[in-house]
Amino acid sequence: MKKLGIYIHIPFCESKCYYCDFTSGVSNNDVISSYADAIVREINEFDSTGYIVDTIFIGGGTPTSVSSDIIEDIVLAIRKNFVLSLVEFTIEGNPNSYTKQKLDHYIRLGVDRVSVGVQSLNDKVLKAIGRVHTSSDAKLCLQLLMDSGLKVSADMMVGLPYQTLDIVKRDAKMVMDSGIGHVSCYSLILESGTKLASKVANGELVLPSDDDAVDMYDAVMYIAKGYGLNRYETSNFGVPCQHNVGYWKLKEYAGFGVSAHSFNKGVRYYNTNNLQDYITGNKYIIDEKPTLAELASEYMMLSLRLDQGVDIEDFKSKYGDKSYNDMMSIAKGQAEYLHIDNRFISIKPEYSYISNSIIEKFI
Ligand SMILES: C[S@@+](CC[C@H](N)C(=O)[O-])C[C@H]1O[C@@H](n2cnc3c(N)ncnc32)[C@H](O)[C@@H]1O
Ligand code: SF4
């Protein structure tokens, strides 16, 4: 049996944050319920022969913003159509839609890990980016999640309007004081077409400089380390998320829902970004069969984001001698920036700030 990760995309939120370019938005209950029916249909249509599911990630959007009965319908469909041997089952949400009742329901469904979008614990920053919660909502939510006994992760962002290095350091300490076992820290990507991009363009809001944003990220990394949450991937610290590690190691996965990506049975496919099209069954937009060389290059690109780096034996067994020789000759040309031993090739920590340009050499 081959291991498979399952991703479910719930594209609904209580309101749209000014910086967000994800397939997500506000919808009414009728749309949400037709959407759940469409996901259940897509799950039922998947030929699961030969697969055993070891991770599930319900993300979005904001899965906690919909009724937990909707989540139950989807989980029951997964349980019916797949053989499960779960090592991790995550649900993602935002601070004011997690409740004790929902958490209890998720636990009954098998969830063992919760992720919450904190972003910042400064009310002026939160308001400037259009978050619907306050700093105290986020602190109460972290407490609620910790009290549940589940594994807890929090998302933070740096490079936001009104953020200073001191504000970020204080926020990071408060987040980690809660005792969480995992933090993701993202540098703001100013996506074109978002409300934040136009507020910055018309001078209403000012962003910290790139150098300041790098200092903020480094501060979060340093503070996380002090709490025992070591960086294992560019944006992630603490006990690794098994589902995401699966993506970075090119494990097979099946994504269900609007805009969800999949990679299984040697094929990559992407669902439509259009919610109505998805609901009416017009799901797939691209379908491609990557070559071995493409997969090898993608494996390098993704593994080099991990602090552990590329597992040389795994690479060789998956992609063969030719890809191995090509990869080693590029690695030797980049030896100054890389740590190479018998088992792994990784980017030296002091060069992680130029990791993208090092990784590009392998593509
Ligand atoms: C899809 S959201 C899920 C969590 C939940 N919807 C929330 O916002 O609380 C995943 C995370 O991506 C990050 N994110 C979203 N848009 C981003 C952007 N433009 N730049 C950097 N990080 C972003 C945020 O940290 C967010 O928590
Ligand atoms: S950041 Fe999260 S809550 Fe905000 S719009 Fe995006 S998905 Fe929704």
Can you list the domains of the chain with their CATH numbers? 2-246 (3.20.20.70), 291-363 (1.10.10.920)
The CA-atom distances, in angstroms, between 206 and each of 89, 170, 226, 229 are 38, 21, 31, 31
For 74-104, write each residue's pLDDT tens digit.
999 999 999 999 999 999 999 999 999 999 9
Confidence of residue 290 (pLDDT cuts 50, 70, 90): confident
Which strand (E) or helix (H) includes residue 236?
strand 236-238
Nearest CA to ligand 1 atom 10: 117
For 185-231, write each residue's pLDDT tens digit.
999 999 999 999 999 999 999 999 999 999 999 999 999 999 999 99
> Which residues lie across from 117 on neighbouring strands?
155
> 106-110, 156-160, 299-303 — which is least confidently predicted?
299-303
Q: What is the pLDDT of residue 291?
A: 86
For a mutational test of ligand 2's pocket, the pick from 10, 18, 58, 62, i.e. the residue with the most ligand atoms closer than 8 A to its C-beta, is 62
> Which residues lie across from 306 on neighbouring strands?
233
Q: What is the mean pLDDT of residues 28-55?
A: 97
36 CB within 6 A, ligand 1: no
59 CB within 6 A, ligand 2: no
With tokens 């081959």, the residue in question is 2
Q: What is the pLDDT of residue 284?
A: 66
157 CB within 6 A, ligand 2: no
Q: Which of 139-153, 241-255, 268-282 has the highest mean pLDDT?
A: 139-153
**Which of the pair, 40 or 292, is modelled with greater confidence?**
40
Cα of 278 from ligand 1 centre, angstroms: 22
Cα of 44 from ligand 2 centre, angstroms: 28
Q: What is the pLDDT of residue 35?
A: 97
Q: What is the pLDDT of residue 361?
A: 86
Residue 172 has pLDDT above 90, yes or no: yes
With tokens 């291991």, the residue in question is 3
Residue 286 has pLDDT above 90, yes or no: no
Q: What is the mean pLDDT of residues 150-177?
A: 98
The ligand that comes nearest to the alpha carbon of residue 19 is 1
Q: What is the mean pLDDT of residues 273-294?
A: 84
Percentages of the chain per state (helix, strand, coil), in multiples of 5: 45, 25, 30
17 CB within 6 A, ligand 2: yes
337 CB within 6 A, ligand 1: no
Determine the number of helices (DSSP H) and then strands (DSSP E) in the chain. 13, 15
In percent, the amount of the chain with pLDDT more than 90 equals 76
92 CB within 6 A, ligand 1: yes
Query: Which atom of ligand 1 is found nearest the CA of 93?
Result: 5
Look over the chain and give the mean of its residue pLDDT values, rounded to a whole number: 94
For a mutational test of ligand 1's pocket, the pick from 186, 187, 236, 237, i.e. the residue with the most ligand atoms closer than 8 A to its C-beta, is 186
Tell me if the pTM is above 0.85: yes
Full strand arrangement of the beta sheet holding 338-340: 310-311, 344-347, 338-340
The ligand that comes nearest to the alpha carbon of residue 131 is 2
Confidence of residue 24 (pLDDT cuts 50, 70, 90): confident
